[in-house]
Amino acid sequence: MILDQLRRRRGRALALAAGILVAATSFTLLTSTVSTSQATTVGTVRKNARSAYDVLVRPPDSQTAVERQNGLVAPNFLSGTFGGITMDQYRRIRGLAGVDVAAPVANIGYLMVSSTVTVDVSRFLDSRASRQILRISPTLTSGLGAYRTSDEYVYLTRSPLTSAGKQEDLFQSDTLEQGAVDKSTQRYRLKGKYDVCFYFNWDKTEQTEFNLNLPMRPNFIAEDLREKSPFDPDLSSRMNCQSGRDKATVDVPVSYPVLLSAVDPAAEDELVGLGSTVTSGRMLTERDKPWTVSSAKSVHGQHDSYIPALLSDDPLTTGTLDATVQRLDVGDPAELPSKLGNPTADSFVRGLHGTTVGTTRVDLGKGYRKALTEDSFDTGNYWTVGPVTYRRTSDGNLAAQPQPPQKRSLWVTAADQQPFRNVPEENHQGTQYRKVTSHAATNCVGLGTCDGVDSGRLPNPFVRLVGRYDTGRLRGFSALSDTPLETYQSPQVTGADAATRAKLQGRPLRPDRNLGGYLSPPPTMLTTMDSITALTKSRRVAGLQDRAPVSAIRIRVAGVTGVDTASRARVNAVAGAIRAAYPRLQVDVTVGSSPAPRTVALSGSARVTERWVAKGVALRILRAVDTKSAVLFVLVLVVCALFLGQAALASVRSRRTEIGTLRCLGWSGGEVLRLVLGELAVIGLAAGAAGALLAYALGRLLGQPAAGAKALLVLPVALLLATTAGLIPAWLATRLGPMEAVRPPVTAARRAARPVRSVAGLAVLNLLRVRGRTLLGAAGLALGVAAFTVLLALTLAFRGEVAGSLLGSAVVAQAREADYLSVALSLLLGAAGAIDVLVISQRERAADLAVLRATGWTDRELARLTLYEGIGLALLGGLSGAVAGLAGVLALGRGVLHGHLFTVTGAALLATLAATALVVAALTVPIRRLSRIAPAHLLAAE
């Protein structure tokens, strides 16, 4: 009976089989895609959840308002922190249960290292001149700024330059030259020669000795510069005196800030592998402690104290010198030695007219390696800097707050009030974002003890290098979970807009030599924790670093493998223990964090993007993935099941007369039930077999790794969906009495209050007459649009919840395919169910259409009537689905629609229009078929 029914009604059976095939295959592929996407996302999160450390401990009040409000850690947090955690606190934290590694960082301060950058100017020389002077006017370009630096000079003579000294070696010179003697300058000669470099470089006072008519002769006593500003470019202006032909260089004075920080070598090596970065010498060890040499071995005094240090090969600052070269009009070359060899040399050279002969460029970093000797590092003064202050802008981004210009007193020696030479130009010409503080050393260097004003303090130590390291050799961590390693890496900052990127010439923004600048260079010199006291206790004025020298503690927790429940519990236990022991310390859980780019305005025309760190990103992603996957699974199941339910119900409705006849012949309700379910089961098995092959092919095409195993599920899924979806229609079929089954399904029309005068009006009336059909068709569209609305809102909310970090962006990119596929197919399945109901309904009403045609209606008018009914049905279902979908989203709560209300509402309305277009397009097929059937034939069948 079942097989005979299927053969006799092949069209209906094939249509229902196609529906089951589409639903089962779609369900299998969608759930497979969702599961694969979830597994991929979880795998990505777990793989990238662990970074260098799990917990970051900082001093009290070190967390900025921006960090507190947004769950962030600033990328440059270490550069503005100099002390705040005591050594006792560090030792107790290190000994807490669960702590695997506790790596402290104690920032001491910035040392200023002087050196020179050599610029070859040979190609600008006049090959015919016996003596000549070139002026080099450099401009320093660093980051977003360009700074004019002091003029430098080179004096080239073909005459030999000789050496000579005064009695008792109180003065030694290598730049003595024979030249034409001038009566006004002959008294400045030394052994019959002029010193052509001394007066320009070391004595610009143009004074006589002791204010008498005696010449100021070269001597070892430094020039008194107390009246000079440390920002005066003349202090850095030098002349290079050379002898030769067609070969000349200029040594441009430069200074580099070197941040000295103390670390625990063993902990640092275990945390990040510092030992593998050593390029020469050896690694610091726990045995490296400060030491003092005896007076017999002292080179600076009675007793010299030293600290061990490891030095970076890279200055970690950037800059380029672009120099304009001028050839000066010197007049008679024979008179140059006498004009340069007296106190008026400076004013003479600066007054010379020059002709520009070219430009040259040199990397500022080239001078750093010249300075990598022990005598280059003077601990007499060091400087500390404060943090950057931010404010919120109207567009929700950040703006760095400028600070007042640096005071000149920062760059003056405490002992004799002499200005420092070669202060980096960025410090007085560049914008300041940090407060800079100077820390002067005691004035008892080389002595075992300090007396007088420095009583009770220690003499400042000297630096002894044990090795050098290259931060580029650090073992890498995942870029998606990279927490700041500010002990070794500069912040990653790029231009946020086209104008800023153009200023940076497409390169990232790097720290410059401005201590008060936005980006501060990370530590360039490392020493041991035991050396802290030798440095902090040698300052004249005691400060926070005396009492609490540690700036941060980075902690790796034992037994942590990712962001699983056990690992999170271990990390939270350690963080909780630290908070309980020291409530005022700032404790940040960084496991599962990820870089979160933020836009920062540095000025009205400069905006940069830098990588702040968002805390707890991995955990938020996993929670969001679980929620989204569960909702996707449920919605896909409901859409597929109701799609088949609509098809089965429509099929039963189309057989009302047949079922009524069977009941009249004595068939029981159970027999009718078995008949309907048997037909659906056979159709489901056939559709499932075909769907298995289709699912396998599509799975391979979509790149699903488990396409074969998932395809095997189509057969049982198809059978289950077919029988489950047919239960209600089959049960309804058993409830039909014989007379009710043969009664037309169209409700009799009541007398209208107003006559129907248009095709649209008749379409509305027809929809009201067949309320069951109308509601059934509208339900399919409503379900599709509602599912589309919920899925779209959930997808947008998921992306909004996890976006803003590099790990979140990677996860969103991986999940995009499954999201789009689920959203699109939910709408298509819902629309397909409605179309199936409409097509069968049109067959039911074929007699009505035939009557209208017999009474004079044209095919065009009948087509318009059918289309108007379809449009009305589609709009009813689509708008109802949009409202239901928005209500469902609101019911989910948790701010799912926050920021997406207009987007989701607009998408729901567009989905309604798309569903309407699908319905209209689908109705063209039955309209054409009905137009080819004669009214007499249809009425006879009725």
Give the tens place of pLDDT for each residue, 54-70: 888 999 988 877 877 77
* DSSP-assigned letter for residue 539: B
**Three-state SS string across 918-940, please?**
HHHHHHHHHHHHHHCCCHHHHHH
How far apart are the C-alpha atoms of 80 and 436, rounded to whole Å? Answer: 10
Is residue 802 over pLDDT 80?
no
Mean pLDDT to the nearest integer, 401-414: 91
Write the DSSP string, 99-163: EEEEEEEEEEEEEEEEEEEEEE-GGGS-TT-SEEEEEEEEEEEETTEEEE---EEEEEESSPPEE
Q: Could you tell me which residue, 719 or 555, shows the higher pLDDT?
A: 555
Task: Give 445's pLDDT tier (boundaries 50, 70, 90).
Answer: confident
Q: Could you tell me which residue, 719 or 190, shows the higher pLDDT?
A: 190
DSSP H/E element including 521: none
Instruction: Give the pLDDT confidence of 600-647 residue by residue, as tens digits.
Output: 999 888 999 887 877 665 556 656 665 666 666 666 666 666 666 666
Q: Could you tell me which residue, 169 or 666, shows the higher pLDDT?
A: 666
Task: Give 734's pLDDT tier (boundaries 50, 70, 90).
Answer: low
Mean pLDDT to the nearest integer, 717-726: 69
Instruction: Give the pLDDT confidence of 394-405 residue by residue, as tens digits.
Output: 888 899 999 999
How far apart are the C-alpha atoms of 178 and 158, rounded to whole Å? Answer: 11
Mean pLDDT to the nearest integer, 777-801: 69
Instruction: Answer yes or no: are the C-beta atoms of 208 and 184 closer than 8 Å.
Output: no
Q: Which residue has the tokens 């104290």?
A: 305
* DSSP-assigned letter for residue 309: E
Mean pLDDT to the nearest integer, 22-38: 60
Q: Please list the alpha-helical segments (H only) found in 319-475.
A: 336-340, 345-350, 426-429
Establish how many alpha carbons lie within 13 A of residue 786's alpha carbon, considering only the half-sphere containing its beta carbon: 22
Per-residue confidence (pLDDT) for residue 909, from 0 to 100: 82
Mean pLDDT to the nearest integer, 21-49: 58
Per-residue confidence (pLDDT) for residue 40, from 0 to 100: 56
Task: Give 351's pLDDT tier (boundaries 50, 70, 90).
Answer: very high
DSSP H/E element including 179: none
How far apart are the C-alpha atoms of 29 and 824, rounded to whole Å? Answer: 13
In three-state secondary structure terms, 652 is helix
Mean pLDDT to the nearest integer, 862-866: 77
Instruction: Answer yes or no: are the C-beta atoms of 191 and 162 closer than 8 Å.
Output: no
Is residue 895 over pLDDT 90?
no
Per-residue confidence (pLDDT) for residue 725, from 0 to 100: 65
Instruction: Answer yes or no: are the C-beta atoms of 888 and 638 closer than 8 Å.
Output: no
Beta strands in 151-207 (DSSP E): 152-157, 162-165, 172-177, 194-195
In three-state secondary structure terms, 566 is helix
**In this predicted structure, which of 127-131, 793-797, 857-861 has the lowest mean pLDDT?**
793-797
Q: Could you tell me which residue, 695 or 542, shows the higher pLDDT?
A: 542
Per-residue confidence (pLDDT) for residue 54, from 0 to 100: 83
Instruction: Give the pLDDT confidence of 530-568 residue by residue, as tens digits.
Output: 999 999 999 988 889 999 999 999 998 998 877 677 877
Is residue 595 over pLDDT 80?
no
Per-residue confidence (pLDDT) for residue 830, from 0 to 100: 66
Write the DSSP string, 365-408: GGGTGGG-SGGG---SEEEEE-PPPEEE-TTS-EEEPPBPPPPG
Hey, what are 483's tokens?
Answer: 């927490």
Is residue 799 over pLDDT 60?
no
Burial group, residue 847, by CB count within 10 angstroms (0-12, 13-18, 19+): middle
Per-residue confidence (pLDDT) for residue 859, from 0 to 100: 74
Task: Give 812's pLDDT tier (boundaries 50, 70, 90).
Answer: very low
Mean pLDDT to the nearest integer, 96-105: 94
Mean pLDDT to the nearest integer, 150-163: 93
How far apart are the C-alpha atoms of 154 and 281, rounded to whole Å? Answer: 37
How far apart are the C-alpha atoms of 538 and 516, rounded to whole Å? Answer: 24
Is residue 930 over pLDDT 90?
no
How far apart are the C-alpha atoms of 299 and 395, rounded to whole Å? Answer: 60
Q: Which amino acid is at 648?
A: A
Is residue 893 over pLDDT 70?
no
Per-residue confidence (pLDDT) for residue 594, from 0 to 100: 67
Q: Could you tell me which residue, 498 or 745, shows the higher pLDDT?
A: 498
How far apart are the C-alpha atoms of 267 and 250, rounded to whole Å? Answer: 45
Which phi and psi (to 5°) does residue 475 adopt? -65, 140
Is residue 16 over pLDDT 50?
yes
State pTM to two decimals.
0.70
How far apart are the C-alpha atoms of 104 and 96, rounded to whole Å? Answer: 15
Hey, what are 136's tokens?
Answer: 């080099």
Mean pLDDT to the nearest integer, 95-116: 92
Per-residue confidence (pLDDT) for residue 449, from 0 to 100: 80
Mean pLDDT to the nearest integer, 82-100: 95
Q: Could you tell me which residue, 812 or 346, shows the higher pLDDT?
A: 346
Q: Could you tell me which residue, 930 or 490, shows the higher pLDDT?
A: 490
**Size (the chain), residues:** 942
Per-residue confidence (pLDDT) for residue 73, from 0 to 100: 75
How far apart are the C-alpha atoms of 334 and 760, rounded to whole Å? Answer: 111
The candidate with the shortest Cα–Cα distance to 592, out of 752, 288, 805, is 805
**Residue 111, beta-bridge partner list:** 258
* Mean pLDDT for the chain overall: 78
Rg (CA), the chain: 43
How far apart are the C-alpha atoms of 712 and 722, rounded to whole Å? Answer: 17
**In this predicted structure, which of 121-125, 187-191, 310-314, 622-626 has the lowest mean pLDDT?**
622-626
Task: Give 751's pLDDT tier (boundaries 50, 70, 90).
Answer: low
Hey, what are 931's tokens?
Answer: 């137009």
Instruction: Give the pLDDT confidence of 642-664 residue by residue, as tens digits.
Output: 666 666 666 666 666 677 777 67
Hey, what are 168's tokens?
Answer: 């008792």
The candidate with the shortest Cα–Cα distance to 1, out of 663, 647, 649, 678, is 678
Mean pLDDT to the nearest integer, 921-927: 70
Burial group, residue 353, by CB count within 10 angstroms (0-12, 13-18, 19+): exposed
How far apart are the C-alpha atoms of 617 and 167, rounded to whole Å? Answer: 74
The candidate with the shortest Cα–Cα distance to 319, out of 472, 153, 135, 517, is 517
Q: Could you tell me which residue, 592 or 275, shows the higher pLDDT?
A: 275
Buried b (16+ CB within 10 A) or exposed e, 100-120: bbbbbbbbbbbbbbbbbbebe
Is residue 804 over pLDDT 50?
no
Per-residue confidence (pLDDT) for residue 477, from 0 to 100: 46
Is residue 712 over pLDDT 50?
yes
In three-state secondary structure terms, 813 is helix
DSSP H/E element including 404: none
**Residue 104, beta-bridge partner list:** 553
Per-residue confidence (pLDDT) for residue 82, from 0 to 100: 93
Q: How many other C-beta atoms can be found within 10 angstroms of the C-beta atom of residue 389? A: 17
Instruction: Give the pLDDT confidence of 277-314 residue by residue, as tens digits.
Output: 899 999 999 899 998 887 767 666 667 889 999 998 88
